[in-house]
Amino acid sequence: MKLRATLERHLKESGITASALAAKAGVPKATLLGWLAGKAPRDLNQLRSVARFIGTSIDALVFDDDQANLPASFSGFYRDEEGWHTGLVELRFRHLDAKTKKNR
């Protein structure tokens, strides 16, 4: 399990503290500090909250299985106090025809 290493990397690259990450992701500080100390997570909802805040999947956060979805760097991207993600983001959109929409 690579949760500890992934969290440590995020904290280092983003420049935020564990307390700030816990508060912004909506998980108890003690829980996040426990993960950083090597304790196994017990609540998937808390993992999901942290993964969403960081911008990755639970698999990538915990097992480091999804390297393609991990950002190269977390710096310059954070969630503000209202829950909006702030930073430079590139989005791509494509039009789906009616037939494609029905198959989704």
CATH architecture of the domain with range 3-86: Orthogonal Bundle (1.10)
pLDDT-wise least confident of 12-21, 24-33, 67-76:
67-76
Average pLDDT, rounded, for the chain: 78
19 vs 72: which has the higher pLDDT: 19
What is the structure's pLDDT at 62?
Answer: 86
Confidence of residue 82 (pLDDT cuts 50, 70, 90): low
Q: How would you write the chain as a 3-class SS string?
A: CCHHHHHHHHHHHHCCCHHHHHHHHCCCHHHHHHHHCCCCCCCHHHHHHHHHHHCCCHHHHHCCCCHHHCCCCCCCCEECCCCCEECCCCCCCCCCCHHHHHCC
What distance in Å separates the CA atoms of residue 31 and residue 53, rounded to the nearest whole number? Answer: 16
- pTM for the full predicted model: 0.61
- The residue ranges of every structural domain in the chain are 3-86
Q: Which residues pair with 79 in a beta bridge?
A: 85
